[in-house]
Every structure is written in C-alpha cells, then in structure tokens.
Structure 1
C-alpha cells in the first residue's frame, strides 16, 4: 500500500506538496471515485487518474538549469509572463518536469528540475539540511558586525534564520558595493534578499551558484544539462536529517 500523494509524486505528476493540492482540489480519482484525502492508501493494482487521465510510473529525469533573470519559476503563469519552462526543449519538458523549489524573478542561477516527486520532496523540506550557495552584490561595504549577525541568524518574517556561512569576496570601493558569498540551509521566499536588507546592505543582484555539491560549471546562462546518474545518487545520499 502507498499514500495517494506519494503515488502521484512517483508518477511525476507533481512534487508531494503539489500532489496534495491536486488531490484536495478533487481532480484525482481512485478506481473511478473522487478522493480528496492525500493520505488515502492505494494498492499497486488500483487505477489512479488525474483529470480522468490514468497515471503510470514514469522514468525519472533530472536537469540542472542556469536560470536568467526575468523568468518566473513556475510551470504555468496566469499573468502570461515568461516561465522557466520556456527554456527547455519540447522533448524534455514533455516528461512533465517541474522545478525543485524556486528562484525569484530577479534572481539568476542554479535551479533543478525533475519528475521525481520524492527527490523534490526531500530537497525542499525544511527538516533537511541542503546547502544552497549564493553570490550577492550588495550596496555598501559589508561590515564584520553584519557578517557576524548573518552567521548567527537574523529575524525576518517573524522567524529567525538558521546560522549561515558568510564571507565578503570582493569590496568595490569605487561603486560602494560588496560581493558576498552566503550559504544557507533554508530556502524561504526571498530569504537572502531579506537577510541582507535586515543588516542594512540591500541586494543589487543575486545568483545562486551552488545547490548541495552541484555548481554551474559548464552551463551557460539560459542553458541546462541532464544530471548524471552518480549525481542523482549523491543528492539522495547527501540528504541528512538535522
């Protein structure tokens, strides 16, 4: 037996979190009967449909995209803005891939895509410690006091961020700015921007350059590549509970 949301995730319909929304909206049937409980148990032989289309377990695929700014991280956008899906070839996005987490419209860099709902679930859950590395160009000369505060954790949106690894990479005295490397284990909405704003150094531009052990090496802005089998295994292997 398997939970219904896990069955949808394994079939590449959506991440587990997305599967919950699909189920609760009444779009899923089990043996012809609408089921709205994500935890509903289904057997291997049960027929599960989404929007009356039978789902089957798909071969999992994994991609690493170097996202440009000016794209929204979503599969579809009601406002008709450019989405990250438009950067993929038709044959690749036909595999029903979806982004793992998101990057803001004005943030560039490393973004993962897959139809493996389990991996997406593990990588985006707050209880898993998956490091994400950013390079931020901020206004002003970043101080040692600000770095110390960021490392300890700062309060944003009514919560305190986990300790971060922070260092000043380059000081640009001519343009009064600092290039900062910051590594966080969370991935909350606009977290890096809010953290830097809190300590008084607003972000001018932001790029995610690392996700766990993965980097942007060899992937030009706007391009993508398939992950290698050993990289996928390492992603699963590196996921550890805090």
Structure 2
C-alpha cells in the first residue's frame, strides 16, 4: 500500500520498518509485509498520516509546446509537468490536446472513467475558446449548427458556435469565439474552421462535460479535482448510459 502511494520502494519500506518509522493504529510495524485495511487503519510514516487512493484525478491547464502523452522521444509531455507524488499512480491524459493548444486537460489512472469520457457514444460536450482570422459571421454559425464536412469527407455532428467578438481583416483583428462540439476528431476545431475558409490562430479548451477550467491555474499548473467536480463527472455519465 505504501509503495503504491509513492512513500518508497519495497527496499526503502523495509528500511523504514526496521527504523520504527511506520506505525499502524499507533503500534510500531515490525513486518513490512503486514496486511492493512487502508479504509479502516491509520497508517503513519515518521508521524505523518498516509492517505491511500487507488485513483487520482487531476485538472491541468495545459500550456503550448507540450504533448498530451505519457512519454515522447522528442518533446516534454503533460505527465512531465506533474509533481513527483503522482508518478506512482501512472496517470495518463484523457484524450488529447494538440501540442499548440492550451487549456483544460484531465489526467487520471481511472480507465473506466476515461473510457466513458472518450466514448463517441457518450457525446461529451467540449467547449473551446479560439481566435480566428478574420471575420467569423452568422453564416459560419449556421454552417456549424448543421455540421460541416472536413477535408477527409467526414461530416461532423452539429456544433454550437458563439461569436464573442467579430474580427476586422482590414485592421488585422481576429474574431473571438467559443465552440462546443460533441466529438474529438484529430484537429477538429481547426479543421471545422478550415471547412468554412477560416484559420484558427489560438485555441484553448475551457470545459469538458461538467468540468470547467479553473481560471486560477497558471499554464502548466494542475490540481486534484474537488469531490464536487468528480461527482459531477460521474453523475453526468451515469445519466448518459
């Protein structure tokens, strides 16, 4: 149990046991192979209580320049940005954001929840903020609402386009929009705008299902989900089953 939560390797735990650093319910542990119930027993190491968790759930504000993967031969990954305490949990990103896309990314080691969030049958809404060259107009909104045909012939599900600020090509001012889609095809937001003759110059995911990006998280920072956020994710997908 202690190894699983990253307290130390098995050899290190044997050493801590010999040193009397580990206690269970106030009693010094003499055998590092002792069986415990982490939900019932109080385990301390050097006087500090150890909280057992099978799964962890992390929200990250992904920066540009890192890839949504657990390992990569050329680039830093989102896992490289996490604190060392999460290494033993072997978390992975739920879905992916492009290397140059910022924003909300969920990382976990809960495969079942990840599957539910990524399953095409679930139609989990994802909302993005984007800056687009130059003018995004009502015709684009109507096209997205009907679904557009991508460069490979795929017809997207309807998307909800909200125009926050209309750009001006003459003045070099991009439009600012929010787009909610139910799918996660490769480069989908960029390709949807390409389908209507527009170019995305900045892209950030701001929500995934009921989960909203914490605006207090700086780029590259992450935190564990609150109990309310985790319950909202679970509840949303129980309803969709």
Task: Give me the TM-score of the superposition, normalised by structure 1.
Answer: 0.73
Q: Indicate the residue corresponding to 1:91 in structure 2.
A: 85
Q: CA RMSD in A?
A: 1.8
1:107-134 superposed Cα distances (whole Å, 9 cap, x missing partner): 1100000000000000001000211110
1:94 shift after superposition: 2.4
Higher mean alpha-carbon deviation, 232-241 vs 95-104, is at 232-241
Assess if the C-alpha contact under 8 Å between 1:64 and 1:112 holds in 2: yes
Number of aligned residues: 186
- Which is richer in strand? 1
Assess if the C-alpha contact under 8 Å between 2:144 and 2:158 holds in 1: yes
**Higher Cα Rg: structure 1 or 2?**
2
Q: Indicate the residue corresponding to 1:24 in structure 2.
A: none
Q: Which runs of 4+ in 1 moved over 6 A?
A: none
| Structure 2 stretches lacking a partner, 5+ long | 5-52
* 2:64 matches 1:66: no
Q: Indicate the residue corresponding to 1:53 in structure 2.
A: none
Task: Give me the TM-score of the superposition, normalised by structure 2.
Answer: 0.73
After TM superposition, the structure 1 = structure 2 runs for residues 1-242 of structure 1, keeping only pairs within 5 Å, are: 59-78=54-73, 80-156=74-150, 157-173=152-168, 174-217=171-214, 218-239=216-237, 240-241=239-240
Q: Distance in 2 between matches of 1:93 and 1:232?
A: 21
1:216 shift after superposition: 2.0
Q: Distance in 2 between matches of 1:196 and 1:137?
A: 11
